[in-house]
Structure 1
Amino acid sequence: MNAKLDLKKRVIELLSANPEKRFKARDIAVWMTENYPEAAAAKMQKSGFIENQAQLLNQIVAEIGSNRPQWQKQLPQLRTTDGVRPRLFYWTEKSEAEEVADIESGRNLFVEFGAPAEHAAEPTATVVEKKVVRRSEHDLYPMLIEFMESEHNVRGQRIDEKKSSNKYGSGGNKWLFPDVVGMENLTDGLHPEVVTAIRESRDTRIRLWSFEVKLLINRSNARETYFQAVSNSSWANFGYLVAANFEGAETMKELRILYAMHGIGLIRLDEENPPESQVLVPARERPDLEWAMCSRLAVENKDFQQFMTKVRQFFQTGDM
């Protein structure tokens, strides 16, 4: 048996034999050491600092991570999930546009592998298949609302664009309405006298948020979805593009470039545990609300009109 543990070759071997199935870097490392024990032993001996199996696995995981960007430039079939920890590796022959189409249509039920003993002193290669149920975009809205309220004190509300009047005809409301809006009480927890002083001074007591939600963002739809968020968040103090999955380092690079120009933030939504979702890039605050656009949205959509009613009631009573 070849005494060299060729990481790139082994990664391709495992992933290409299991297309669309997703593995953590540690799962790949465990598989390598158990399927190529002589090469793994030779790597441990040659290193001079690796003393046991756990350290060997940690080293292989680190090397997979450091080599990943270069491998992906060479191998377009090698994909990873970005903006999520741990990162998942998988192999696919689909184009990125086809991936988006599949996931939005509900056809993309994938299988994730996990090693239950990965934290043990001597982890095994035993893996358990975990079928990840593909949710619809609508399933993500309550998760986002839960995260924003629990972690950022933002009271969210769903905006259903189907409730719009569409009086401007087909396409007249395209990219006009966000999926979710939010309201943040800046006086929460302040002394009543301070709240009264703020009210009398007409200083800012509220910030409004806007969220555009997607199941998957990759290089094929990154710019389109970002500019959709730019368009339908123009009225708010904060605008966010939210996704359950950001895939590819180039995707995040492109989104960060767009952020520098437009200030729309990024949130990765944790489907399994919404409070553990992450603000990957904080949105840049707009100091003033665009009330004229709020008025148009309220005229066009009943959900947004109800949201504006809540805003008015807050200004009148201080209650959300």
Structure 2
Amino acid sequence: MALNLGKSVVDYLTAHPDEKFSARQIAEWIFATFPDECHAKKASSQALETDADLLQQLVAEIGSQRPRLQKRHPNLKTTEGRPRKYYFSEKSDSAEVAVVESVGVNAPVGKDETKIGEHGLYPLLSSYLWAEFGVYSKRIDEKRSSNKRGPNGNRWLYPDLVGMEDLGADWHQEVKDCVNQYSDKRTKLWSFEVKLLINRSNVRECFFQSVSNSSWSNFGHLVAAEIEGQDTLKELRMLFAAHGIGLIKLDVENPSESQVLIPARERGEIDWDTANRLATENKDFLEYVKLVKQFYQTGEARLADWDVPKEVE
């Protein structure tokens, strides 16, 4: 009997609702579950010489059949980023966001898995930013803000994390001294809005929240542990064209494997009026400004003052 790959994929995912699997994991299950059909498929092709070749072919065919399968089965969904994950869910997009925000996302702890909430993403993001870009990051806790403008007076004002990039980290000391004397182009200031899950139900809200609270910075980013659906990514790319907010897919299992899916567009100047409001309203942001000032005064950034991973100190 010939292997019915599409039916096998759908059957496997529907039997494991709301669990996410990569195409390779699904292919490995198919290979183990339908050995006769798989060996017949290999035997019928001159290009498939080994089991590894067959497994890679199954992975490729699962990916190529995805659009057709999703059209036939609307509850078959995928995440975006590397690697794409496939899953079956009868929940609406908004219900999926509500579940993730209440219980968190999967993250490995030793050999086990646990759930981490949004706050658990911040140190993972800090680790990635330092390793990939050399960015010194700092958490901004909106609870440390004044409330004199009322309950919603500061809504969408503060990013979750801010960062400072030292453009002259590898410069000669004489060049550093010269730049400090004659310009303020020694740093780039970054802003990050962090989400557990972005899908079609919350994509625009998340994006414009990031637009709102990063307007002061050189680079504004939206960061997500999970991004679901090609339409979501298309929407974010369209919005980027108008507003320049970047997108980072944060890998909670291995932060160093996180991806910049959409690079942020640089703003040439800092909006110091907005930065002044943030510093006036929030103690964490004021501390961030003090650290940037200290960097310009001394030419150095002390790792202990920032949320830099302990292993590099």
| Shared fold per TM-score greater than 0.5 | yes
* Alpha-carbon distance between aligned partners in 2 of 1:192 and 1:28, rounded to the nearest angstrom: 54
Q: Residues 1-320 of structure 1: matches in 2 within 5 Å?
A: 3-85=1-83, 87-106=84-103, 132-320=113-301
Give the drift of 1:247.
Answer: 1.4
- Residue range with higher mean Cα deviation, 101-110 or 178-187: 101-110
Ranges in structure 1 where 5+ consecutive residues have no aligned partner? 112-129
Following superposition, the deviation at residue 235 of structure 1 comes to: 0.2
For the Cα contact (< 8 Å) 1:180–1:211, is it kept in 2? yes
Higher mean C-alpha displacement, 56-65 vs 197-206: 197-206
Match of 1:239, SS state, is strand
Is the 1:246–1:268 Cα contact (8 Å) retained in structure 2?
yes
Gaps (5+ residues) in structure 2? 302-313
How far the C-alpha of 1:291 sits from its partner, in A, is: 0.1
1:293 CA drift (Å): 0.2
Give secondary structure in 1 for the equivalent of 2:58. Answer: helix
Letter in 2 for 1:18: H
C-alpha separation in 2, matches of 1:273 and 1:34 = 28
How many residue pairs are counted as aligned between the two chains? 299
TM-score of the superposed pair, with normalisation by structure 2 = 0.90
Give the Cα–Cα distance (whole angstroms) in 1 for the partners of residues 189 and 274 of structure 2. Answer: 13
Percent sequence identity over aligned pairs = 53
Tell me the CA shift for residue 200 of structure 1.
2.3
Aligned mates of 1:56, 1:7 — CA distance in 2:
13
Q: Cα RMSD over matched residues?
A: 1.9
**Residues 192 and 110 from structure 1, CA distance in 2 versus in 1: closer, same or farther, beyond 3 angstroms?**
closer
- 1:120-154 CA-to-partner distances (Å, cap 9, x unmatched) read xxxxxxxxxx8642211001111111111222111
DSSP-derived class of the 2:116 partner: coil
TM-superposed deviation, 1:250 = 1.4
Q: Which amino acid aligns with 2:150?
A: G
Q: Is the CA contact (8 Å cut-off) linking 2:105 and 2:116 kept in structure 1? A: no
How big is the shift at 1:109? 6.1
Amino acid at match of 2:70: Q
Residue by residue over 1:246-296, the C-alpha shift from the partner in whole angstroms, topping out at 9 and shown as x without a partner, is 111111111111111111111111212222222222111001000000000
